[in-house]
């Protein structure tokens, strides 16, 4: 599974409703996520990858691609399975 | 320059109210919660207040308040730790605790204040709060101010909550925060399941029963009665300004918790105590509940059933409400504003919720029919909603 696929799977598991999610999906505009919904996803990513993402950082995240980019910068040795 | 910038930055986006020439907030209400309600000089059907049992204008409650005002005056002009601790306040705290099924209670000037202040006193930065995604702003604010780790869980989803509780090592204390009735959805928390999970994972449950007290349960005692929860070992909060038809809020729990808060909660001990007339009003509402809840509660649920059924049959999209709340879901913000204006123009007072009160694209118009409304008023409301549905092309 690629990092992109894994991130999309994590997002889907933390949504109130089912949604179609692509790499360029805007989390707030397309999915209507509020601050707690964003926090749920960030917490799940932290748990999955064993990292800590600070508030200021995740406020800047807009799309799924932003998350993937952020993860790759947090975890340079990220392996895809 | 700094002062000028400060004031120029205080901006409220009123574009929607300008576009539709309609502002549903801060209406000029000229009457009490009577049937009809007088809004801006016109007769309205009140489907907006949280006066579930319709007791805000009950003659017995008014008389109790007036009598206490004559006896004690308007206020004790002091905090509970000083002159605010009148005997009737202490008695009411004990009565409320017994009513909802906890050992002891303390009364705050508002439930928002109780919820906000509570976490500041009890939660530390190395603690974890797991909180329902749709929890009320007062709980969210309190938790955020505490500076702890926050993990929201999917709304009313014990499976998701369990997954989060399985990963709590490293935190000092763990709290699970939710509400009984979610007021914009009308959904009810599976609190019995949540309490079981808290026991399993050594977490402290916190429940805000503001829309449940006086509403849920066979005798109106709230979420503990409704879910048959005994020996609750967590923290309970509720408003006194909804079904209990007065003002204020309270925190309940075991005696050591309440004793600790009495001496260490700044939101309580630096705030003027609830005034004696209000204490008497709440006490009288509890008397009425003990005597008449079966009949009053039945009327409240019947009105909900009629309104919910009518709107569903007329093509309105509704949240699957389990409480005496009917919430119309309107994803588009403009459509929500148009519908709210149409309802208002037909002299029904309702409450629109738009972001940030609700998530984006989940705008809602909430309707609550108090048990004081007459059957004729409800039938009139149903007829009006039928006309509105036709005008909106819903049916």
* Per-residue pLDDT tens over the stretch B210-235: 999 999 999 999 999 999 999 999 99
Interface A-B, measured as beta-carbon pairs within 8 A, has a size of 36
Whether residue A34 lies in the annotated active site: yes
Question: For B357, which residue in chain A has the nearest alpha carbon?
Answer: A34
| pLDDT (0 to 100) of residue B231 | 95
Which residue out of A26, A30, A34, A55 is catalytically annotated? Answer: A34
**DSSP states of A1-44:** --HHHHHHHHHHHT-SS-----TT-BTTTTT---HHHHHHHHHH
pLDDT bin (cut points 50, 70, 90) of residue A79 is low
**Which of B359, B361, B363, B364 to probe by mutation at the A interface, max A CB count within 10 Å?**
B359
| Cα distance from N-terminal residue to C-terminal residue, chain A | 5
pLDDT for B354: 92
For B314, the enclosing helix (H) or strand (E) is: none
Cis peptide before B36 (omega within 30 of 0): yes
Q: What is the pLDDT of residues B348-366, one digit of tens each?
A: 999 999 988 888 889 999 9
ipTM above threshold 0.90: yes
Which residues, 6+ apart, have CB-to-CB distance to B52 below 8 Å? Answer: B211, B214, B215, B242, B243, B300, B324, B368, B370, B371
Q: In chain B, what residues touch A36 (CB-CB under 8 Å)?
A: 131, 133, 140, 152
**Could you tell me if B324 and B334 are in contact, meaning their C-beta atoms sit under 8 angstroms apart?**
no
Tell me the two tokens of residue A23: 């790499």
Do B151 and A40 make contact, defined as CB atoms within 8 angstroms? yes
Region of B186 on the Ramachandran plot (φ > 0 left; ψ -120 to 50 alpha; else beta): left
Could you tell me which chain A residue has the CA closest to the CA of B131? A36
Using CA coordinates, name the residue in chain A closest to B169: A47
Distance CA B389, CA B395 (A): 6
Flag whether pLDDT at B261 surpasses 60: yes
Q: In angstroms, what separates the C-alpha of A74 from chain B's closest C-alpha?
A: 20
**Distance (Å, rounded) from C-alpha A51 to C-alpha A43?**
9
């Amino acid at each position: 599974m690629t990092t992109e696929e894994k991130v999309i799977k994590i997002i889907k598991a933390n949504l109130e409703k089912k949604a179609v999610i692509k790499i360029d999906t805007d989390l707030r505009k397309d999915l209507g996520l509020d601050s707690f919904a964003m926090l749920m996803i960030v917490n799940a990513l932290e748990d999955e990858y064993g990292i800590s993402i600070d508030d200021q950082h995740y406020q800047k995240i807009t799309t799924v691609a932003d998350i993937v980019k952020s993860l790759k910068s947090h975890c340079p040795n990220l392996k895809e399975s | 320059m700094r002062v000028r910038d400060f004031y120029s930055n205080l901006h409220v986006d009123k574009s929607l109210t300008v576009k539709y020439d309609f502002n549903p907030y801060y209406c000029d209400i000229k009457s009490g919660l009577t049937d009809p309600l007088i809004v801006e000089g016109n007769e309205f059907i009140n489907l907006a207040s949280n006066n579930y049992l319709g007791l805000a204008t009950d003659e017995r409650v008014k008389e109790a308040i007036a009598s206490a005002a004559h006896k004690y005056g308007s206020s004790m002009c002091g905090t509970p730790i000083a002159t605010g601790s009148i005997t009737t306040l202490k008695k009411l705290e004990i009565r409320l605790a017994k009513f909802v099924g906890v050992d002891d209670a303390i009364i705050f000037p508002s439930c928002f204040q109780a919820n906000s202040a509570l976490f500041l006193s009890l939660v530390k930065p190395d603690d974890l709060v797991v909180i329902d995604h749709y929890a009320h702003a007062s709980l969210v604010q309190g938790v955020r101010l505490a500076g702890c780790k926050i993990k929201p869980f999917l709304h009313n989803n014990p499976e998701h909550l369990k997954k989060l509780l399985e990963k709590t090592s490293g935190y000092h204390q763990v709290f699970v925060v939710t509400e009984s009735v979610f007021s914009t959805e009308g959904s009810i928390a599976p609190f019995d399941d949540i309490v079981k999970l808290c026991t399993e994972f050594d977490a402290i449950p916190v429940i805000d029963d503001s829309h449940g007290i006086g509403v849920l349960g066979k005798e109106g005692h709230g979420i503990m009665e409704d879910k048959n929860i005994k020996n609750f070992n967590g923290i309970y909060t509720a408003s006194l300004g909804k079904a209990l038809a007065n003002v204020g809020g309270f925190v309940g729990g075991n005696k050591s918790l309440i004793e600790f808060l009495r001496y260490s909660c700044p939101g309580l001990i630096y705030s003027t105590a609830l005034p004696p007339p209000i204490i008497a009003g709440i006490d009288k509402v509890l008397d009425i509940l003990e005597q008449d809840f079966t009949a009053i509660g039945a009327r409240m649920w019947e009105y909900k059933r009629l309104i919910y059924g009518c709107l569903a049959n007329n093509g309105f999209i509704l949240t699957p409400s389990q409480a005496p709340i009917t919430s119309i879901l309107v994803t588009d913000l403009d459509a929500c504003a148009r519908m709210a204006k149409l309802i208002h123009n037909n002299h029904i007072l309702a409450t629109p919720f738009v972001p940030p009160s609700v998530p984006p694209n989940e705008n809602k118009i909430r309707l609550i029919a108090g048990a004081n409304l007459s059957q004729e008023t409800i039938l009139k409301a149903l007829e009006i909603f039928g006309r509105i549905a036709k005008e909106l092309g819903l049916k």
